[in-house]
Chains A and B, each alone.
Chain A
Amino acid sequence: MTTTAVSTGVAVRLEGVSRRFGTVQALDGLDLELAPGELVALLGPSGCGKTTALRILAGLEDADSGRILVGGKDVADVPVNRRDMGMVFQAYSLFPHLTAAENVEFGLRLRRQSAAARRRRAQEMLELVGIGTHASRFPQQLSGGQQQRVALARALAIQPQVLLLDEPLSALDAKVRLQLRDEIRRIQLEVGTTTLFVTHDQEEALALADRVGVMRAGRLEQIGLPEDIYRNPATPFVAEFVGLSNRFAGQLSASGVEVFNTLLPTLNAGSVEHGPVEVLVRPESIDLTADPLGDGRVVAVSFLGPLARVTVALPDETLVVAQVSSARLADLPPGTPVRVTLLPIPVVVSPSDQT
């Protein structure tokens, strides 16, 4: 994005990291690798262990087993305050008794920098996150989005080896969230710090990250480029969690999977036995045509701006969610008989006994 991008990041490696809280196995042999300067998003439902992974990397939790390597060094015995990681938390974490600038200076003061150097650096960081004019305000005089910007400036001011973002946007409202999301990416590219971003919001993860890791029950279910995660989900869980999917009954054979009399290619046929299966189909892989002889009937329409989601009921009461361009909504008011066509896009299948 900018030409001044200097890669200052270090490589991070988690090897077989496990952590148990009482009876809950929060992490179950997690392997994760971050290339220098890379932004990896860990995505998953609550309780999947993504926050635990981040906190273990930060040093706020200890791993029961496994290794954590930062820049090739094992940091297991390094306490939080010596790990040199910048953190931004979900909850507002600015020190209420200090101004924005003093908050940013906090880490520099602990590093015994001179007052002048501190002040210069704090101003520089506040300008980087776009609130240079608010330096002398107290946290309670700032909006939620501004507070998170200051928190980001504070985390980056110490020039951390790794930047850890623990759902930094989830307390913000939608518009601010979108804006700050793009800003975080811009800043991360500019400073080039290796970054781990934890979120439960798939849109956030896909938009922001170099690579997205989808977690489930303490393990990585799949890690890859955002478009890979979306287009070629490795498992039914990933297909369902990332993006919206329809579940239909189908018949799996060597040549593909048959759904609604259409033969579709599959992404994961090797891992599922042939026979009756469940098929996960994305709404954008379904086309609707208004047809008086069609056996579907439009039951609901939700307008999403340029796109719209149309829910169609089939005679056997299966509901089909399709995504169409809003321009076509005029032809598809609720009650319209429609023909449902599946586009020949590879789909994920799962054994039909699995719910």
Chain B
Amino acid sequence: MAGLVRRRARRQRVLRWVVVGVLSIVFLLPLFALLEFTTRGPGGKLSWDTWRLLVDWRQLSETYPVLWTGMKASFWLVLLSVALTLVLLVPTVVWVRLRLPGLRRLVEFLCLLPLTIPAIVLVVGLAPVYAWVVYFVGGSSVTLFLAYTILALPFAYRAIDTGLSAIDVRTLAEAARSLGAGWLTVMWRVVLPNIRSAVLSAAFLTVALVLGEFTIASLLSRDNLQVAINQLGKSSATISFAVSLAALVLAFVLLYLLSFVGRRRRRERSVS
């Protein structure tokens, strides 16, 4: 009996490793191929020239101005999208929870809507809107952050809403108010510290989304990192692949950090 159990446990363990192994090959092989390709020097020898160039920003901007523009645009896009998403979403979701619970379903529906609309359809709708944006503030690629904020809403909303569900916002707010806190203090000193990890998740998800966005930028003829990678791919495959790999790894690192934030939160909780 015990032998049977042990044998079954061993078989399960083996199966588990087989699954992990196969999946690793499927996921990692292309990444490894990318790495191998970008480090292939003349005559098939190992060479880190491409990567060295990628780290040397001044030379990079001279050699590949398109890429440099895209990277700069994406950097600002990330910052502005995260800022706008949080500034729009956090107070709204908290307020709806505290004062307008009847609107919760509607707000959730609105926030999740962008997820159900294909990017191409969004572009059709966004093009005339952006005609006005160009008219008022110019055609800089950075204006894309408005569209990206909409794209990020579903993910950011989910993250923040989950964070708020974990605390009794209403009672905490009432307690703080009875102690003399105004709404700003309630928000800053009571609500935000308690949904810190949720806000961080929302920010990370937004960053990952903005770094990986191609469709809308390309169709609206703006430059961002992905558009630049695509363009470079036609002339200089090596550098474009290297940047792709770097962007992917950056996204992985962010997601890894995200899971780390969640875990630390849980450990804090379980101290009792």
Q: B-contacting residues of A (Cβ < 8 Å)? A: 58, 60, 80-87, 89, 91-97, 106-107, 110-111, 138, 140-141, 151, 154-155, 158, 164
A95 contacts B271, C-beta separation under 8 Å: no
Q: Given A96-B194, A97-B194, do A81 and B182 touch, yes or no (CB 8 Å)?
A: yes
Question: A94 — which chain B residues lie within 8 A by C-beta?
Answer: 175
Interface residues on B, range: 20 to 34
Q: How many A-B residue pairs have CB under 8 A?
A: 70
B257 within 8 A of A: no
Q: Are A93 and B180 in contact (CB under 8 A)?
A: no
A297 to B82, CA, bound (A): 77
Give the residues from 230 to 272 in chain B that come closer than 8 angstroms, CB to CB, to chain A. 269, 271-272
**Given A89-B174, A140-B269, A141-B272: A95 and B182 within 8 A (CB)?**
no
Q: Among the interface residues A82, A87, A111, A141, which one has the most CB atoms of the partner chain B within 10 A? A: A87
CB pairs A–B below 8 angstroms (25 shown): A80-B177, A81-B177, A81-B178, A81-B179, A83-B178, A87-B178, A89-B171, A89-B174, A89-B175, A91-B168, A91-B171, A92-B168, A93-B174, A93-B175, A95-B176, A95-B193, A96-B167, A96-B194, A106-B176, A106-B189, A107-B179, A107-B180, A110-B180, A138-B271, A164-B178
Which secondary structure dominates chain B's binding surface? Answer: helix
Looking at the assembled complex, report how far the CB atom of B271 sits from the nearest CB atom of chain A, in whole angstroms. Answer: 6
Contact of A110 among B167, B168, B181, B194 (CB under 8 A): B181
Known: A89-B171, A140-B272. 11 other contacts (CB 8 A): A60-B178, A80-B174, A80-B177, A91-B171, A95-B194, A96-B167, A138-B271, A141-B272, A154-B175, A155-B178, A158-B179
**Which residue of chain A has its CB nearest to the CB of B270?**
A140
Contact assessment for B180 and A87 in the assembled complex, using a CB-CB cutoff below 8 Å? no
Could you tell me the dominant secondary structure of chain A's interface residues?
mixed
Residue B185 CB within 8 A of the other chain: yes
A-chain residues with CB within 8 Å of residue B209 when the two chains form the complex:
none
- Hey, which chain B residues are within 8 Å of A154, CB to CB? 175, 179
Within the complex, what minimum Cβ distance (angstroms) separates B154 from chain A?
27
> In the complex the two chains form, is A87's CB within 8 Å of B193's CB?
no
CB contacts (< 8 Å) of A110 on chain B: these are: 179-181, 185
- B contact residues around A80 at 8 Å (CB): 174, 177-178
Distance of A91 Cα from B168 Cα, bound (Å): 9
Residue of B168, B180, B189 most packed against chain A (CB within 10 A): B180
Residue of chain B at shortest CB distance from A143: B272
**A85 B272 Cβ-Cβ under 8 A:** no
Task: Known contacts A81-B180, A95-B190, A111-B180; decide if A87 and B271 are in contact (CB<8 Å).
Answer: no
Q: Which of A81, A85, A141 contacts B271 (CB 8 A)?
A: A141
The reply to whether A85 and B190 form a contact with Cβ atoms under 8 Å apart is no
Q: Is B28 part of the contact surface with A, judged by Cβ < 8 Å? A: no
B172 to A95, Cβ gap below 8 A? yes
Hey, which chain B residues are within 8 Å of A155, CB to CB? 178-179
Contact string against A for B residues 149-177, beta-carbon threshold 8 Å, 1 for contact and 0 otherwise: 00000000000000000011001101111
